[in-house]
Amino acid sequence: MNNWLALVLGLPTANATERMRAWRALKATGAAVLRDGVYLLPQTDSCHAALSAVERDILAINGVALLLPVVDPNGARFAELFDRADDYTRLGTEIDECRLQLNAENALATTKQIRKLRKAYTQLAGIDYFPGQPKQQIDEALKSLEVAVSRALSADEPSGQDSSIMLLSVGEYQGRIWATRKRPWVDRLASAWLIKRFIDSQAQLVWLDHPSDCPADALGFDFDEATFSHAGNRVTFETLKDSFELDVPGLNRLASLVHYLDVGGIQPIEAAGVERVLAGLRETITDDDQLLNAAGAIFDGLLAGFVQEDAIDE
């Protein structure tokens, strides 16, 4: 990196509020301090835009600001000024503490803490101009924590069975009783929505206190020994989708989202936001039928959005 941007500034002393606002804006850019009043960033479009905005704000309050390009054949020496390792270490400590305190009782409250941690990570990553292993490690730690919360919210999660998928006809599964564990989380909510939306629109859903309470004439789902559950690396939603060969636009993307939120893996960009919304619904809606109705609207919206995005990409 030989090309840099230097912002030379002098802030007025008259307006403390505006001066503090300018300092905060400058700090948010992650600029390195070369000396008092001289700040440095790599020369990129985003860095130029950020420092230009700070320059305009300072000039607007009658301060002094001058943005200059800097070309230095030995510019790589500046990279160490942007080392974020200590910041990542502090964030990693907070993530570890959150993970140690996690249990089924505080899982919903923990989702709020994770939102703060994810926001802190996003801000830090945004000013990590020379990312390395610490950034990747913290991202993986956060993803692991998010998956752990999902599992804590769904006690007695079924174990994956090494069984093949049997292809079934939707026409033979109409007007049936479908049963799963009460207080559903992502996979059960999405599976129940899938059943009523694409498999059995007249389905009667039963929420079980315990899997052993499943009626003999019911089709159980998402618990061990259920008719439909985890199969291999598939979560229950994927098992249902593949069993009934549901070839619906956008459904594969929704399946990937449910898979991640239930057991982890590759994180879709929508995952964190969807998890927040579903956690909020689960916290505020105590009736499982009403919870499914509310979550179903979310899944309907996601599916429509995926279809629209895929159409644009084509």
Instruction: State the pLDDT at residue 48.
Output: 95
Instruction: State the pLDDT at residue 40.
Output: 95
Instruction: State the pLDDT at residue 129.
Output: 94
- What are the boundaries of each domain within the chain? 3-81, 83-153, 170-313
Instruction: State the pLDDT at residue 257.
Output: 95
Instruction: State the pLDDT at residue 160.
Output: 65
Instruction: State the pLDDT at residue 304.
Output: 96
Instruction: State the pLDDT at residue 267.
Output: 83
Instruction: State the pLDDT at residue 161.
Output: 66
Q: What is the full per-residue pLDDT of the chain (314 aa) written as tens digits? A: 789 999 999 988 777 888 888 888 999 999 999 988 999 999 999 999 999 999 998 998 888 999 999 998 887 889 999 999 999 999 999 999 999 998 878 887 888 888 889 889 999 999 999 998 999 999 999 988 887 887 787 666 776 666 678 899 999 999 999 999 999 999 999 999 999 999 999 999 999 999 999 999 999 999 988 999 999 889 999 999 999 999 999 999 999 999 988 887 788 999 888 988 998 999 899 999 999 999 999 999 999 999 998 877 76
Instruction: State the pLDDT at residue 77.
Output: 85
Instruction: State the pLDDT at residue 158.
Output: 76
Instruction: State the pLDDT at residue 156.
Output: 66
H/E/C letters for each residue in the chain? CCEEEEEEEECCCCCHHHHHHHHHHHHHCCCEEEECCEEEEECCHHHHHHHHHHHHHHHHCCCEEEEEEEECCCHHHHHHHHCCHHHHHHHHHHHHHHHHHCCCCCHHHHHHHHHHHHHHHHHHHHCCCCCCHHHHHHHHHHHHHHHHHHHHHCCCCCCCECCCCCCCCHHHCCCCEEEEECCCCHHHHHHHHHHHHHHCCCCEEEEECCHHHCCCCEEEECCCCCCECCECCECHHHHHHHHCCCCCCCHHHHHHHHHHHHHCCCCCCCHHHHHHHHHHHHHHCCCHHHHHHHHHHHHHHHHHHHHHHHHHHC
Q: Which CATH architecture has domain 3-81?
A: 2-Layer Sandwich (3.30)
Instruction: State the pLDDT at residue 206.
Output: 97
